[in-house]
Amino acid sequence: MDNSGVTFALWSWARAQTASGSEVCVLHAPAANSTKEISFVSKESSPGLSHHDVPHRGRHRLTLRPVALDRYLGRNDLLVLHEGWVPGNLVAAAAACRARVPYVVMPHGVYESAWTTYLKPPRWLRHRLERRLLERAAAVHVFFESEIADVAALAPNASFITVPTGFHLPNERWTGGGGYLGWLGRIDPFHKGLDALVGAIARLPADQRPMLRIRGYDYRNGIARLRDLIEKLDMAKWVRLDGVIAGAEKTRFLQQAEGYIHPSRWECHSIALLENLALGVPCIVSKAIHIAQTLERWSAAVLAQPSEAGLAAALPRLAADRAVAPRGRALVSDAFNWKTLMPQFHSAIGRLGLQ
């Protein structure tokens, strides 16, 4: 299991379900298939929570398929499949059907119309297989109601439950003082809006440009593309691009930033953004992502269009509206509290007859 926001969410749900009284086993491909060097996801077992290597065929994530998954499933189980568009989910769903075990799909945003532009052909066949997967599921578990339209366009007869991933409020608090704005995650310049963010900073007068520090891991040569853009716009003085960060070092990086910027052109439910909100870091957030509506209701972030002009207009507002910081922390404490969310989840699956 590689490190990612999805993996963090997977383990967060597993721990929250265990804490609420369920017995959970995380089934995954052997660790040899994991490639990230730094682990920022705790994968330790605990009472009621275990994990098990399942033999797989295939050479990498997009071709891996579980072998004989049926033998790991019992009649009283519920199988949860994460993400989508991978043959492993199709094979796992077929195994669940053979074992007469219901399954739920938690897509983590991979059915968004913008995301599907990444799909390799033949798309018509992949759409047909994915529709079958989703419509045979007991439910598709989305995090926000606004996700449903894209999934329903692909699978009109799918059923849905809506409960977001929660986050534990840390003892640590935002301090600022580092003299930079932060960003953290998977470095995909277009998807994550990093190209627009660098362009936005370039639009500002030189004496008004903030220092931006980007920390994360490469995706499809995104680091090289972003470095080329930084060089092209002559922004090396204001934009610093570093590697993966985890643990206490990551917490300090977020705490000491003057603010956090989340300029994604689309996004399901960012764990990095939740982490910053929970610390009380003042945030600029793209209006295009699903959590934006919630943030607007709570006045918990400075919202901006994920464009050069939109972000350039928002950057000066962040320093002037520090009140968003405590409201962001309060939002996480209330709307993304596992103690609130797990009863919602159990009620939702109960309505589907899965308890």
Please give the mean pLDDT across all residues of the chain: 94
pLDDT score at 41: 55
What does the pLDDT look like over 5-17, one tens digit per residue? 899 999 999 999 9
Structure tokens at 353: 């007859």
Write the pLDDT tens digit of every residue in 273-284: 999 999 999 999
- Spatial contact of 88 and 55, defined as CB atoms under 8 Å apart: no
Share of the chain residues as helix, strand and coil, in percent rounded to the nearest 5: 45, 15, 40
The answer, yes or no, to whether residue 140 has pLDDT greater than 80, is: yes
- What superfamily in CATH does domain 5-166+338-351 come from? Glycogen Phosphorylase B; (3.40.50.2000)
Q: Does the pLDDT of residue 40 top 60, yes or no?
A: no
Q: Do domains 5-166+338-351 and 181-335 have the same CATH topology?
A: yes
| Separation CA 73–CA 93 (nearest Å) | 11
State the architecture of 181-335 in CATH terms: 3-Layer(aba) Sandwich (3.40)
- Per-residue pLDDT reduced to its tens digit, 44-92: 667 899 999 999 999 887 899 999 999 999 989 999 999 999 999 999 9
- According to DSSP, the β-strands at 65-66 and 56-57 are antiparallel
pLDDT tens figures, 144-160: 999 999 999 999 999 99
Delimit the domains of the chain by residue range: 5-166+338-351, 181-335
- CA 98 to chain CA centroid, Å, is 31
Give the pLDDT confidence of 207-241 residue by residue, as tens digits. Answer: 999 999 999 999 999 999 999 999 999 999 999 99
| Contact of 13 with 165, CB cutoff 8 Å | yes
What's the rounded Cα separation, in Å, for the pair 280 and 333? 11
Looking at residue 1, what is its pLDDT? 46
Report the predicted TM-score, pTM, of the whole model to 2 decimal places.
Answer: 0.93
